[in-house]
Amino acid sequence: MKQISAIIEQLDATLAGEWPDTAGIRQFSYSLQKQPDTGLLEWLSAQPCYPKFYWQQRDGNEEAAVCGDAYAFGDTAQAQAFIREHQDVPDLHIWGLNAFNGADNSAFAANALFLPRIELCRQGTRYWLRCTLFSPRSLREEARRTRLFLRSLVASQALPPIASRVLQHQHLPAQPQWNQLITRALNCIEEQQFDKVVLARKTTLTLSQPLNACAFLAASRAVNHHCYHFMLAFTPQQAFLGSSPERLFLRSHDELYTEALAGTVANDPDDDKAQDLGNWLLNDGKNQRENLLVVDDICQRLQGGAQSLDIMPAEILRLRKVQHLRRSIHGELTESDDAGCLQRLQPTAAVAGLPRQAAREFIAEYEPFDREWYAGSAGYISAEQTEFTVALRSAAVKGHHLELYAGAGIVAGSDAAQEWQEIENKAAGLRTLLEEHYTPAVQAG
């Protein structure tokens, strides 16, 4: 990536000039004249700086690799206020994650949102590099720190092969406890405490060596199509990543796009068999009810914040291991309020349940682990456009361990064995990337 190195040198020379010893913000953008020699994820993997975030929109048209934090934000409202305060800098993008429990969980950070120092971006076939300086105290000092940061950047390298072997795995809950949890949930549904609850499982894989998060995400991106691909790496051995099919919301100016993704059946490599399964899903009462519960909840939550809601007919989203029912929803926002949209829509009924508060209380009391980033959201905020995906089909890389997450919606008529198979199918989207090393007979604990 010689052209990137040349841009970095040009930027370094610019930053070497005189800067005021006062608060301020500056941004520099450079177009790349041709496509880089290697991909953005390869470039990001080579960089020694943290945090770093990768994003690819599910249609593949938008991609970003960003690193270094010029400024970090405690919540989405702070990030939104920052962008509004600096409207004279139109290309500010704040990237990162929002936790499932948000501010409800004081033991875990609610957000990991940051304004990056460097962004390498692609839209279609157009590439550019953006550098942002911000300091609440001294731009002169920030320019000095940014020059040191730029000098730490290195040339892109090929991603390493995935060499980690799975030594053992542990489900939480294990299947007997899962069956008990489903029975408890069904009893609560029968007692009308709630209509639906989404229960999840965490599978911890113990690996022979630490997993390269960028290489693992690249392997997922290669086979898990029609998905958002995202990764936030906190340190060399700690990252959260996923390949999620579900949009939480896209805001383009005052237009809002969201969706109900609920109802699942297995996929099949044979197109005719896959179509038969998809047709069954379109006509299955239990799955249609589950999807429509999510649609109704989204529409209710958007009351007062959006108008003229249009709900598209149900369609089948075919993924590598599963197929889903999806209904797209479009509306006009009463005001461009990303923090408000996030508060209204996260978590959706597709990942928590209905009524939302009662379902969340059940999850908090009986699910045997903290979801942290799983089923939260990943994406970016900017003045013109904001987009978040629901953090599904996701995993936490933690040194010699890989934590895989999957969930299933429980409604009246749900069967514990079928729901267990559903989360097996969902987790397989990432687990099978290690399949040649995966030995399901070895169970920890």
Binding-site residues:
290, 422
Q: Is 285 left (phi over 0), alpha (psi -120 to 50) or beta?
A: alpha
Active-site annotation holder among 63, 119, 142, 246: 246
Is residue 171 within 8 A of residue 423, CB to CB? The reply is: no
Whether 202 is a known active-site residue: answer: no
Burial state string for 406-425 with b = 16 or more CB within 10 A and e = fewer than 16: bbbbbbeebebeebbebbbb
| 379 half-sphere exposure, CB direction, 13 A CA radius | 29
| Rounded-to-integer distance, Cα 75 and Cα 67, Å | 19
Whether 332 is a known active-site residue: answer: no
- Binding-site residues for Mg(2+), in ranges, read 290, 422
Which candidate, 196, 205, 189, places its Cα nearest to that of 352?
196
Active-site annotation holder among 52, 196, 202, 321: 196
Token pair of 424 as six digits: 């097996």
Token pair of 109 as six digits: 């950070």
| Rounded-to-integer distance, Cα 45 and Cα 157, Å | 8
**Residues carrying an active site annotation:** 196, 246
